[in-house]
Structure 1
Amino acid sequence: MNFIKAISNFAKAICNFIKAISNFAKAKCYLSKAISNFAKAKCYLSKAISNFAKAICYFIKAKSNFAKAKCNFIKAISNFAKATCYFIKAISNFTKATCNFIKAISNFTKAICNFIKAKSNFAKAKCNFIKAISYFAKAICNFIKAISNFAKAKCNFIKAISNFAKAICNFIKAKSNFAKAKCNFIKASNFAKATCNFIKAISNFPKAICNFIKAKSNFAKAKCYFIKAIS
């Protein structure tokens, strides 16, 4: 999820960066237009001043044509007033264009900062994604090891069951041999042989008991390993 969010933030930062560049270009155009209007207004003001000076000259010199000079004087004043208005408007537009230019620079700077942050978040998300893959691989390895240990415990459990079964068989055989030896001892005409067989049977009987106890212990251990492997 962090990886997807980082990609989304990165894309948004790129969009904001592109918008900031566009606003910067627009502000630059407005500034150029404002400078052009300022230059035009300056020209109009210069012309108006020139016409005003000419009108004064005409007014002074044209004693015979006073009415025309008076009209030209009034027109010159009117043009001067218009030129002054244009000049004030040009200054206002120039001020607005300067403000927009400063705002565009600020937005451009913010877009760069957001772009850098998004790039950093993207790098962090990439690192976290790589770590998650590493943890996932380790978990798979541990799962495989657990399966292997479970298989080994199962094999040991089966072997213990087999040994336990063998011990039971040996115990039964020893018990049978002991019974036979006892019968032979009772029935035997040769007392010495019967005594030997009886002693052997008595000797094998404790061994069979020991083997039975060992097999039972191994079975208990294997059962414990099997339970641990399952858990």
Structure 2
Amino acid sequence: MEDQLISKKELLEETSISYGQLYRWKRKNLIPEEWFIRKSTFTGQETFFPREDILKRISIIQKMKENLSLDEMREMLSPKMKDVSMTADELLTKGLISKPALHVYSEGGADTVFSSRNLLSLYVLEGLLQSGNVSLEEAKLAADVLKKHETAEIKKQTELIILRKLGVTTCFIAAAADSILFESSVKIVERVDLANASEELKTKYMQEGHQWK
């Protein structure tokens, strides 16, 4: 567990940011409050962070801060989906979604315009297909679950989880998924953090020069 955390001192040194920047970003909700973990050490109380999450978040902030205000970055990093729509042609042209993902999600239908809710589900489905870990039928199962989930209101630690046991696959969406335990005979095929997926999608979208309204 300890190797999954990074101390505040190590974080500041590794990322070359100041104490003031770190806490200014915290006040602006660019870094979640729950990532500031207070722990007792032999020198007293120290602050630690989830290593992978905080390093990824600061890297994103550093890349985007030259072109976006703190308020714009806060909006981008929020897991909540806002009103955006794109056509199938736009998604393909920008390389956000592939034809196989569109075909699976639309079940071969003629859907040509996708809302914010659809876009996140499509993006997650694209990642599943690109992973090579799921079959086409399992991808269709995941697409059906994603369509039924209200992705406009994503909470932290909400995951799409695909399980396989004795050749039978099941798929579901769970909140507080970090606390779920599975029996040893169950194979976890894929776990997708929907808040992280939303952040990635919005980052790619805004890098194309669009505003996520």
- Structure-2-length-normalised TM-score: 0.18
The structure showing larger relative contact order (alpha-carbon pairs under 8 Å, at least 6 residues apart) is 1
Structure of greater Rg: 1
| Larger strand proportion of the pair | 2
